[in-house]
Amino acid sequence: MPRLPSASTKLGALAVGVMPTRRPAVRRVSRPVFPYHATVRASLWISVAVVAALFAWGSWQRRWIADDGLIVLRTVRNLLAGNGPVFNMGERVEANTSTAWTYLLYAGSWVGGPMRMEYVALAMALTLSVVGMGLFMLGTGRLYAPSLRGRRAIMLPAGALVYIAVPPARDFATSGLESGLVLAYLGLLWWMLVCWSQPLRLRPEGRVFTGTLAFVAGCSVFVRPELALTGGLALIMMLVAARSWRRRVLIVAAGGALPLAYQIFRMGYYALLVPGTALAKDAAGDKWSQGMVYLANFNRPYALWVPLVLLVPLGLLLMFARRRPSFLRPVVTPDYGRVARAVQSPPAVVAFILVSGLLQGVYWIRQGGDFMHGRVLLAALLCLLAPVAVIPVVVPDGKDYSRETGYWLAGAVSLLWLGVAGWSLWAANSPGMGDDATHVTYSGIVDERRFYAQATGHAHPLTAADYLDYPRMAAVLTAINNTPEGALLLPSGNYNQWDLVPMLQPAPGTAADDRAPQKPQHTVFFTNLGMLGMNVGLDVRVIDQIGLANPLAQHTDRLRHGRIGHDKNLFPDWVVADGPWVKVYPGIPGYLDQQWVAEAVAALQCPATQAALNSVRAPMNLHRFISNVLHSYEFTQYRIDRVPLYELIRCGLEVPEGGGPTSVGPHD
């Protein structure tokens, strides 16, 4: 304990006209003020170990790498080859939503060396998923620590059991997507915020923890853009609770410097304000009705309302049974404002994680959900379960209330927990979507893992080679090998072949100097970018009609009634027009209209369209970078009409000879 100034010291100070400086009253301690009882600590770690083992085992039983997971690996291949963070060489398109996941896989693949990239992705995703679940449980265990000071209690997994019981949680714990990173990030943020709300001491090194927490919160945009709703809210809480302007400057700098730097890089390199995937899927749009369909599709197979009915009263019981003095305010209470103390407190952090879950859920429902069953609502579910990830069953000691009341509370908590455990056991063995799991019905939602397992014939499709058994995949390699002179490959109605459009050759009679053959090029136009991109060379351009890797398709409008996640659809006529391909019969397939192709060629001369394409295709230099930064808002907002004739009219360009309203017919 610090020594109080003696009376003589005070009198001496008065004699020279100096008064001792008054500092905020802060109670410092040399050890934790709410130590766990041995039973609490042991049961918490046992719960974490059991849940982690169950989650790891269940996820391994459903291991796979999704086609979208292979999209990320194509970008990693380009990074390793020195082509930059692109999907196709010479075209700066950000085909991945999670920046952090892309560079983590890049680092893992570089360290892994000869190991297959798919196995690196599998190991990293599974590890992050399990670690994230452990962080959630430890954060919640610490949340209850003040109310359990010196008391005997058993910590049991509750919300954690609910999460790992939902089959999509185990499906996307691997998958090669960033779901495992999202789980680890949210778990880390939750644990750190709980620690922040219960400071043990105030010392100068507290600035290090504050800066680290602000940095973690700011990195939310790198994990997934919509997580900025969560990370931004955490930063606002920290700013409100900050004790000085210096601390606020630290929070802003630590939380905003790296995101701001990357945003400038994105604007200059990709010429967009948002990731290319956000533009392709029109993340600013809304499809509320489809979002409600997605929510119902996630809830129906598992009756998710059941654990909600059980966990809400369970959480209320735990709240009312807590030790109020140590739970309602931080252990160390600096005198820096009532609002700040209220914000930096466990109840505020609980409110934060619940509001974050609701915001994530509302965002995705507004967006229309996803085509993968349950995937995008997992983060929202996790946040809502965080305050009850683990729960304490307190052994009555008669201190805070009578033993009879204590036994009644313990019995009620135990019964509710048994209900949660019983539901979890049932849900974990649920058949999920049943017969609709692999059928693309009107809702557009499928069980992606089962769909590809059935389509490839592999129970665990893990590598790009496994996807060669998917329709058309083996045939694309044959078609490329059979066209050494180059060609555009369009999907045929026959799953065992591709329609070919040959490269343009110099016309007869051209001067000898102008008849030098072009370097052979191959372009494949298909939806499944991942399996294609990972099974062909980096010199093969792979593009889609949706716009994930196609800068032209990105700038089309979203179809109102298209399949969610696939609701842009660029006609193949544009692909023929936008490349060195033959543009008339018999060089193009019969189902294409050469008049449409001619109109698309003319429409591509629209100055605004040329500017948008040059922003990602022209060589990168300082001038181009600055120009892209200055015009990134215009490029993000720019849209073209998918019908070439209408695009000509929009741009005020002349229709090629023979065109007219009748030329719209074949594709309408």
Angle CA 570–576–581, to nearest 5 = 160
Say if 80 falls within a structural domain.
yes
What share of the chain has pLDDT > 90, as a percent?
72
Say if 662 falls within a structural domain.
no
Say if 113 falls within a structural domain.
yes
Say if 663 falls within a structural domain.
no
What share of the chain has pLDDT > 70, as a percent?
87
Does the pLDDT of residue 509 top 80, yes or no? no
Please name the residues in contact with 527: beta carbons below 8 A apart, sequence gap of 6 or more. 544, 545, 546, 566
Do 281 and 409 belong to one domain? yes
Say if 11 falls within a structural domain.
no
Do 433 and 497 belong to one domain? no
Say if 17 falls within a structural domain.
no
Do 360 and 499 belong to one domain? no
Please tell me the predicted confidence (pLDDT) of residue 103.
97
Q: What is the rounded CA–CA span in Å between residue 520 and residue 502?
A: 10
In the numeric block, the tokens 């802003």 are attached to 252
Do 276 and 147 belong to one domain? yes
Task: For residue 291, report the phi and psi dihedrals to the nearest 5 degrees.
Answer: -60, -40
Please name the residues in contact with 260: beta carbons below 8 A apart, sequence gap of 6 or more. none
Q: What is the rounded CA–CA span in Å between residue 258 and residue 595?
A: 49
Do 206 and 302 belong to one domain? yes
Do 430 and 497 belong to one domain? no
The structure's pTM equals 0.89
67 or 563, which is more confident? 67
Q: Which residues pair with residue 523 across a beta bridge?
A: 488, 541
Does the pLDDT of residue 270 top 60, yes or no? yes
E strands in 158-306:
none
pLDDT digits (tens, 9 = 90+) for 149-183: 777 889 999 999 999 999 999 999 999 999 999 99
Do 95 and 195 belong to one domain? yes
Indicate the average pLDDT of the chain: 87
Please name the residues in contact with 185: beta carbons below 8 A apart, sequence gap of 6 or more. 100, 132, 216, 219, 220, 223, 227
Do 322 and 203 belong to one domain? yes
Say if 638 falls within a structural domain.
yes
Do 304 and 426 belong to one domain? yes
Q: Which domain holds residue 549?
A: 471-505+518-651
Number of domains in the chain: 2
Q: What is the rounded CA–CA span in Å between residue 650 and residue 556?
A: 13
Do 415 and 492 belong to one domain? no
Please tell me the predicted confidence (pLDDT) of residue 7.
46
Say if 567 falls within a structural domain.
yes
Domain end residue (candidates: 437, 461, 492): 437
Task: Determine the average pLDDT of the residues in 24-51.
Answer: 70
pLDDT digits (tens, 9 = 90+) for 358-368: 999 999 999 99
Do 485 and 427 belong to one domain? no
Does the pLDDT of residue 210 top 90, yes or no? yes
Do 388 and 496 belong to one domain? no
Q: What is the rounded CA–CA span in Å between residue 149 and residue 140?
A: 15
Please tell me the predicted confidence (pLDDT) of residue 456.
94
Instruction: From 607, 608, 579, 593, select the one nearest 644 (Cα to Cα).
Output: 593
Please tell me the predicted confidence (pLDDT) of residue 199.
67
Instruction: From 336, 114, 133, 129, select the one nearest 241 (Cα to Cα).
Output: 336
